[in-house]
Amino acid sequence: MFEFMNIAKALADENRIRILLALDGRDELCVCQLIDLLQLAPSTVSKHLFILRNARLILGRKQGRWMYYRLNTGEASQAVKSALDWVTQSIAEAQQIRQDAARPDEILQEDTARRCGI
């Protein structure tokens, strides 16, 4: 029950869904790239990432001063895999998601050090 409730809570926010769909099909994105995509304050994005990690929908790794996030598709429980599949199949055609679709590619082309101000 605890796992289900964490997943349900994580999926109850538009920006967290946008993060999941931005990560879908990509190896990983840096937190500064996600901040740029969402156009939200770093603290707000960090809170969203915390909730997604707590639900085990994403994984993070630290490299130097940067945090990178990816979908938890390999080692995830069946509940997590099912939730990720449901999200990607159900909402991919929403207007906001279509608007976001090209942004990660544009963001990835820019130098991460310059984007993150390091």
- Structural domains for the chain: 2-108 (1.10.10.10)
Cβ distance 29 to 22 under 8 Å? Answer: yes
Q: What burial class does residue 20 get, using C-beta atoms within 10 Å of its C-beta: 0-12 exposed, 13-18 middle, 19+ buried?
A: buried
Q: What is the pLDDT of residue 2?
A: 79
Summarised one tens digit per residue, pLDDT across range 12-27 is 999 999 999 889 878 8
pLDDT of 117 > 70? The answer is no
Q: What is the pLDDT of residue 109?
A: 67
pLDDT of 118 > 60? The answer is no
What DSSP character marks residue 116?
T
Average pLDDT, the chain: 84
Cβ distance 52 to 6 under 8 Å? Answer: no
Q: Which residue has the higher pLDDT, 32 or 93?
A: 32
Q: Percent of the chain, pLDDT > 90?
A: 36
Q: What's the mean pLDDT in 89-112?
A: 68
User: Structure tokens of 87?
Assistant: 């999200």
Nearest one of 78, 26, 19, 82 to 53, comparing CA atoms: 19
Residues in the chain: 118
What 3-state DSSP class applies to 69? strand
